[in-house]
Copies of this chain bind each other. A is one copy, B any other.
Amino acid sequence: MSRILNIGAAQMGPIQPDESRASAVARLVAMMREAKGRGCDFVVFTELALTTFFPRYYEEDRAKMDHWFEREMPGPETRFLFETADELNIGFYLGYAELTPEGRHFNTAILVDGNGKITGKYRKIHLPGHADHDESRIVQHLEKRYFEPGDMGFPVYRQNDAIMGMLICNDRRWPEAYRVLTLQGADLVVLGYNTPDINTTGLYEPSYLRSYHNHLSMTANAYMNSCWVVGTAKAGVEDGCGLIGGSCIIQPSGEIVTQATTVEDELITFACDLDMAKLGKETIFNYAKHRRVEHYGRITSQTGVEIADQAAE
Protein backbone atom coordinates (compact mmCIF):
# COMPACT_ATOMS: atom_id res chain seq x y z
CA MET A 1 0.00 0.00 0.00
CA SER A 2 1.54 3.28 -1.05
CA ARG A 3 0.54 6.50 -2.67
CA ILE A 4 3.78 8.27 -3.58
CA LEU A 5 4.01 11.99 -4.23
CA ASN A 6 7.51 13.15 -5.02
CA ILE A 7 7.71 16.62 -3.50
CA GLY A 8 10.34 19.33 -3.76
CA ALA A 9 10.79 22.12 -1.22
CA ALA A 10 12.49 24.94 -3.13
CA GLN A 11 14.16 27.09 -0.51
CA MET A 12 15.05 30.55 -1.73
CA GLY A 13 18.06 32.57 -0.73
CA PRO A 14 17.61 36.28 -0.11
CA ILE A 15 15.82 38.58 -2.55
CA GLN A 16 17.34 42.02 -2.27
CA PRO A 17 14.99 45.02 -2.52
CA ASP A 18 16.15 45.93 -6.01
CA GLU A 19 15.81 42.45 -7.48
CA SER A 20 13.14 42.31 -10.20
CA ARG A 21 10.19 39.90 -10.29
CA ALA A 22 11.61 38.52 -13.53
CA SER A 23 14.85 37.66 -11.77
CA ALA A 24 13.06 36.01 -8.85
CA VAL A 25 10.87 34.04 -11.25
CA ALA A 26 13.95 32.89 -13.15
CA ARG A 27 15.34 31.49 -9.90
CA LEU A 28 12.06 29.70 -9.18
CA VAL A 29 11.96 28.27 -12.70
CA ALA A 30 15.53 27.00 -12.36
CA MET A 31 14.56 25.12 -9.20
CA MET A 32 11.40 23.82 -10.86
CA ARG A 33 13.50 22.37 -13.68
CA GLU A 34 15.86 20.80 -11.18
CA ALA A 35 12.85 19.36 -9.34
CA LYS A 36 11.58 17.83 -12.57
CA GLY A 37 14.98 16.30 -13.16
CA ARG A 38 14.72 14.66 -9.76
CA GLY A 39 11.29 13.25 -10.54
CA CYS A 40 9.15 15.69 -8.57
CA ASP A 41 5.43 16.08 -9.22
CA PHE A 42 4.98 19.09 -6.98
CA VAL A 43 7.17 21.95 -5.74
CA VAL A 44 6.62 24.09 -2.67
CA PHE A 45 7.97 27.63 -3.04
CA THR A 46 8.15 30.08 -0.16
CA GLU A 47 6.04 32.92 1.26
CA LEU A 48 6.29 36.24 -0.64
CA ALA A 49 8.53 34.49 -3.14
CA LEU A 50 8.66 37.32 -5.69
CA THR A 51 10.06 40.19 -3.61
CA THR A 52 12.12 41.00 -0.58
CA PHE A 53 10.28 40.69 2.75
CA PHE A 54 8.89 44.22 2.51
CA PRO A 55 6.91 44.28 5.81
CA ARG A 56 10.22 45.24 7.41
CA TYR A 57 9.82 48.72 5.87
CA TYR A 58 7.58 51.36 7.40
CA GLU A 59 5.69 53.60 5.03
CA GLU A 60 3.22 56.16 6.35
CA ASP A 61 1.22 56.11 3.12
CA ARG A 62 0.21 52.49 2.61
CA ALA A 63 -0.55 53.10 -1.07
CA LYS A 64 3.13 53.70 -1.66
CA MET A 65 3.70 50.02 -0.84
CA ASP A 66 1.37 48.74 -3.54
CA HIS A 67 4.28 48.19 -5.90
CA TRP A 68 5.23 45.16 -3.76
CA PHE A 69 1.86 43.55 -4.57
CA GLU A 70 0.60 41.54 -7.56
CA ARG A 71 -2.55 42.87 -9.23
CA GLU A 72 -2.92 39.78 -11.39
CA MET A 73 -1.70 36.22 -11.18
CA PRO A 74 -0.20 35.19 -13.47
CA GLY A 75 0.97 38.58 -14.70
CA PRO A 76 3.53 39.55 -17.31
CA GLU A 77 6.48 38.85 -15.01
CA THR A 78 5.15 35.63 -13.47
CA ARG A 79 3.57 33.95 -16.49
CA PHE A 80 6.84 32.17 -17.30
CA LEU A 81 6.54 30.16 -14.07
CA PHE A 82 3.06 28.94 -15.00
CA GLU A 83 4.14 28.13 -18.55
CA THR A 84 7.06 26.12 -17.22
CA ALA A 85 4.75 24.20 -14.87
CA ASP A 86 2.59 23.34 -17.87
CA GLU A 87 5.60 22.37 -19.97
CA LEU A 88 7.03 20.13 -17.23
CA ASN A 89 3.67 18.91 -15.89
CA ILE A 90 4.59 19.89 -12.36
CA GLY A 91 2.34 21.52 -9.78
CA PHE A 92 3.38 24.15 -7.25
CA TYR A 93 2.58 26.27 -4.18
CA LEU A 94 3.59 29.93 -4.45
CA GLY A 95 3.36 32.73 -1.90
CA TYR A 96 2.97 36.36 -2.97
CA ALA A 97 1.42 39.67 -1.91
CA GLU A 98 -2.04 39.94 -3.44
CA LEU A 99 -3.77 43.23 -4.32
CA THR A 100 -7.36 42.50 -5.37
CA PRO A 101 -9.36 44.46 -7.94
CA GLU A 102 -11.30 45.85 -4.95
CA GLY A 103 -8.08 47.21 -3.47
CA ARG A 104 -7.73 44.65 -0.69
CA HIS A 105 -4.31 43.39 0.40
CA PHE A 106 -3.54 39.83 1.45
CA ASN A 107 -0.52 37.65 2.13
CA THR A 108 -1.56 34.88 -0.24
CA ALA A 109 -0.57 31.43 -1.46
CA ILE A 110 -1.90 29.66 -4.53
CA LEU A 111 -1.95 26.08 -5.65
CA VAL A 112 -1.18 25.50 -9.33
CA ASP A 113 -1.60 22.21 -11.17
CA GLY A 114 0.58 20.52 -13.80
CA ASN A 115 -1.27 22.39 -16.53
CA GLY A 116 -0.27 25.72 -15.07
CA LYS A 117 -3.82 26.42 -13.86
CA ILE A 118 -4.59 27.91 -10.45
CA THR A 119 -6.62 25.32 -8.55
CA GLY A 120 -6.59 26.71 -5.02
CA LYS A 121 -5.94 29.79 -2.93
CA TYR A 122 -5.29 30.59 0.71
CA ARG A 123 -4.93 33.97 2.42
CA LYS A 124 -2.79 34.09 5.57
CA ILE A 125 -4.91 34.21 8.71
CA HIS A 126 -2.36 34.51 11.53
CA LEU A 127 -0.61 37.77 10.68
CA PRO A 128 2.25 38.40 13.10
CA GLY A 129 3.80 41.70 14.03
CA HIS A 130 2.17 45.10 14.37
CA ALA A 131 0.34 47.82 12.43
CA ASP A 132 2.16 50.99 13.49
CA HIS A 133 5.77 52.06 13.54
CA ASP A 134 7.45 50.75 16.67
CA GLU A 135 10.60 52.67 17.58
CA SER A 136 11.60 50.11 20.18
CA ARG A 137 12.12 47.38 17.60
CA ILE A 138 15.38 46.50 15.88
CA VAL A 139 13.52 45.73 12.68
CA GLN A 140 9.87 46.51 11.91
CA HIS A 141 7.48 43.63 11.23
CA LEU A 142 4.45 45.37 9.74
CA GLU A 143 2.34 42.52 8.43
CA LYS A 144 -0.64 43.80 10.41
CA ARG A 145 -0.22 47.15 8.61
CA TYR A 146 0.03 45.97 5.04
CA PHE A 147 -2.25 42.92 5.00
CA GLU A 148 -5.78 42.10 6.05
CA PRO A 149 -6.25 38.77 7.82
CA GLY A 150 -7.26 36.08 5.37
CA ASP A 151 -10.98 35.82 4.64
CA MET A 152 -11.16 32.33 3.13
CA GLY A 153 -10.78 30.13 6.20
CA PHE A 154 -8.53 27.10 5.77
CA PRO A 155 -9.64 25.36 2.58
CA VAL A 156 -8.28 22.00 1.42
CA TYR A 157 -7.89 20.85 -2.17
CA ARG A 158 -7.41 17.50 -3.83
CA GLN A 159 -4.32 17.64 -5.98
CA ASN A 160 -1.73 15.10 -7.07
CA ASP A 161 -3.81 12.51 -5.19
CA ALA A 162 -3.26 14.37 -1.89
CA ILE A 163 -5.76 16.27 0.21
CA MET A 164 -3.67 19.37 0.47
CA GLY A 165 -3.94 22.31 2.82
CA MET A 166 -1.92 25.51 2.63
CA LEU A 167 -0.57 27.62 5.46
CA ILE A 168 1.75 30.63 5.47
CA CYS A 169 4.63 31.28 7.88
CA ASN A 170 3.27 32.24 11.33
CA ASP A 171 0.22 30.00 10.79
CA ARG A 172 2.55 27.05 11.40
CA ARG A 173 2.78 27.95 15.10
CA TRP A 174 -1.01 27.79 15.59
CA PRO A 175 -2.39 24.30 16.19
CA GLU A 176 -5.88 25.54 15.30
CA ALA A 177 -4.77 25.94 11.68
CA TYR A 178 -3.58 22.35 11.21
CA ARG A 179 -6.63 21.04 13.06
CA VAL A 180 -9.10 22.79 10.78
CA LEU A 181 -7.23 21.43 7.75
CA THR A 182 -7.04 17.85 9.00
CA LEU A 183 -10.68 17.91 10.13
CA GLN A 184 -11.24 18.15 6.37
CA GLY A 185 -8.99 15.16 5.74
CA ALA A 186 -5.73 16.91 4.83
CA ASP A 187 -2.86 14.44 4.56
CA LEU A 188 -0.39 17.06 3.32
CA VAL A 189 0.13 20.61 4.59
CA VAL A 190 2.43 22.87 2.57
CA LEU A 191 3.73 26.27 3.64
CA GLY A 192 6.38 28.90 3.08
CA TYR A 193 7.98 31.19 5.65
CA ASN A 194 10.18 34.29 6.11
CA THR A 195 11.45 34.11 9.69
CA PRO A 196 14.02 36.56 11.10
CA ASP A 197 16.98 34.88 12.76
CA ILE A 198 16.75 37.21 15.78
CA ASN A 199 13.83 38.40 17.88
CA THR A 200 13.28 41.69 16.08
CA THR A 201 11.48 43.23 19.05
CA GLY A 202 14.89 43.51 20.66
CA LEU A 203 14.03 41.11 23.50
CA TYR A 204 16.85 38.72 24.17
CA GLU A 205 16.35 35.34 22.53
CA PRO A 206 19.12 32.88 21.72
CA SER A 207 19.35 32.57 17.95
CA TYR A 208 19.17 28.76 17.94
CA LEU A 209 15.68 28.98 19.44
CA ARG A 210 14.33 30.49 16.20
CA SER A 211 15.30 27.35 14.29
CA TYR A 212 14.22 25.06 17.12
CA HIS A 213 10.75 26.65 17.23
CA ASN A 214 10.45 26.43 13.48
CA HIS A 215 10.99 22.69 13.46
CA LEU A 216 9.20 22.09 16.76
CA SER A 217 5.97 23.68 15.50
CA MET A 218 5.95 21.79 12.22
CA THR A 219 7.07 18.39 13.51
CA ALA A 220 4.64 18.38 16.44
CA ASN A 221 1.71 19.42 14.30
CA ALA A 222 2.60 16.82 11.64
CA TYR A 223 2.47 14.21 14.41
CA MET A 224 -0.61 15.49 16.28
CA ASN A 225 -2.53 15.81 12.99
CA SER A 226 -1.03 12.78 11.29
CA CYS A 227 -0.12 14.54 8.06
CA TRP A 228 2.91 15.31 5.95
CA VAL A 229 4.22 18.86 6.35
CA VAL A 230 6.47 20.65 3.88
CA GLY A 231 7.99 23.95 5.06
CA THR A 232 9.98 26.12 2.67
CA ALA A 233 12.01 29.11 3.82
CA LYS A 234 13.22 32.31 2.34
CA ALA A 235 16.66 32.34 3.93
CA GLY A 236 19.85 34.31 4.27
CA VAL A 237 20.59 38.00 4.67
CA GLU A 238 18.09 40.32 2.98
CA ASP A 239 18.94 43.99 3.12
CA GLY A 240 20.97 43.41 6.28
CA CYS A 241 18.31 41.28 8.00
CA GLY A 242 18.94 37.57 8.49
CA LEU A 243 16.29 34.94 7.82
CA ILE A 244 16.50 31.36 9.05
CA GLY A 245 16.65 28.46 6.59
CA GLY A 246 15.90 24.93 7.71
CA SER A 247 13.40 24.10 4.97
CA CYS A 248 12.25 20.55 5.54
CA ILE A 249 9.86 17.76 4.72
CA ILE A 250 8.26 16.03 7.71
CA GLN A 251 6.49 12.69 7.72
CA PRO A 252 3.33 12.06 9.77
CA SER A 253 5.38 10.57 12.60
CA GLY A 254 6.76 14.07 13.15
CA GLU A 255 10.22 13.09 11.92
CA ILE A 256 12.10 15.33 9.49
CA VAL A 257 13.00 13.21 6.48
CA THR A 258 15.03 15.79 4.57
CA GLN A 259 16.28 19.25 5.41
CA ALA A 260 18.10 22.09 3.65
CA THR A 261 21.68 22.75 4.70
CA THR A 262 22.23 26.25 3.28
CA VAL A 263 20.62 29.69 3.37
CA GLU A 264 20.62 29.91 -0.42
CA ASP A 265 18.43 28.70 -3.28
CA GLU A 266 18.37 24.98 -2.49
CA LEU A 267 16.04 22.22 -3.56
CA ILE A 268 15.35 19.28 -1.27
CA THR A 269 13.11 16.43 -2.40
CA PHE A 270 11.47 13.38 -0.94
CA ALA A 271 9.23 10.64 -2.30
CA CYS A 272 6.38 11.00 0.21
CA ASP A 273 4.06 8.07 0.75
CA LEU A 274 0.81 9.88 1.50
CA ASP A 275 -0.68 6.68 2.91
CA MET A 276 1.66 6.97 5.88
CA ALA A 277 -0.83 9.55 7.19
CA LYS A 278 -3.41 6.77 7.61
CA LEU A 279 -1.81 5.06 10.62
CA GLY A 280 -2.31 8.00 12.94
CA LYS A 281 -5.64 9.00 11.45
CA GLU A 282 -7.04 5.49 12.05
CA THR A 283 -5.55 4.91 15.52
CA ILE A 284 -4.25 7.36 18.12
CA PHE A 285 -5.50 10.46 16.26
CA ASN A 286 -8.79 9.01 15.06
CA TYR A 287 -10.75 12.20 15.65
CA ALA A 288 -14.19 10.61 15.54
CA LYS A 289 -13.25 8.19 18.29
CA HIS A 290 -11.24 10.41 20.59
CA ARG A 291 -12.08 14.12 20.25
CA ARG A 292 -14.47 15.55 22.87
CA VAL A 293 -15.74 18.75 21.31
CA GLU A 294 -18.15 19.40 24.20
CA HIS A 295 -15.11 20.46 26.23
CA TYR A 296 -13.42 22.61 23.56
CA GLY A 297 -15.91 25.48 23.57
CA ARG A 298 -13.50 28.21 24.62
CA ILE A 299 -11.40 27.62 21.49
CA THR A 300 -14.09 29.14 19.31
CA SER A 301 -16.15 31.18 21.76
CA GLN A 302 -13.25 33.18 23.17
CA THR A 303 -10.37 34.97 21.43
CA GLY A 304 -8.12 36.15 24.26
CA VAL A 305 -7.35 34.92 27.77
CA GLU A 306 -10.14 35.05 30.35
CA ILE A 307 -8.93 34.09 33.77
CA ALA A 308 -11.54 32.00 35.57
CA ASP A 309 -12.88 33.15 38.94
CA GLN A 310 -11.32 30.30 40.88
CA ALA A 311 -7.93 31.25 39.44
CA ALA A 312 -8.16 35.01 40.02
CA GLU A 313 -5.61 36.56 42.35
Contacts and interface: CB of A to CB of B under 8 A. Distances in A.
Interface footprint category on A: 35 or more
With most chain B CB atoms within 10 A of its CB, the pick from A155, A201, A279, A292 is A292
Interface string A269-284: 0000000000101011
B307 A184 contact: yes
Given A279-B203, A304-B291, A176 B284 contact: no
A228 interface: no
A298 interface: yes
A17 interface: no
A1 interface: no
Interface string A94-135: 000000000000000000000000000000011110000000
A197 B302 CA distance: 38
Nearest to A163: B311
Interface stretch (A48-56, A67-75, A84-92, A217-225): A217-225
A295 interface: yes
Interface string A140-162: 00000000011001111110000
A62 interface: no
Contacts of A217: 220, 223-224
22 contacts: A125-B295, A127-B290, A155-B310, A156-B311, A158-B312, A173-B284, A174-B224, A174-B291, A175-B224, A180-B295, A183-B304, A183-B306, A184-B306, A185-B311, A201-B283, A203-B283, A213-B253, A216-B219, A281-B305, A291-B303, A296-B300, A300-B301
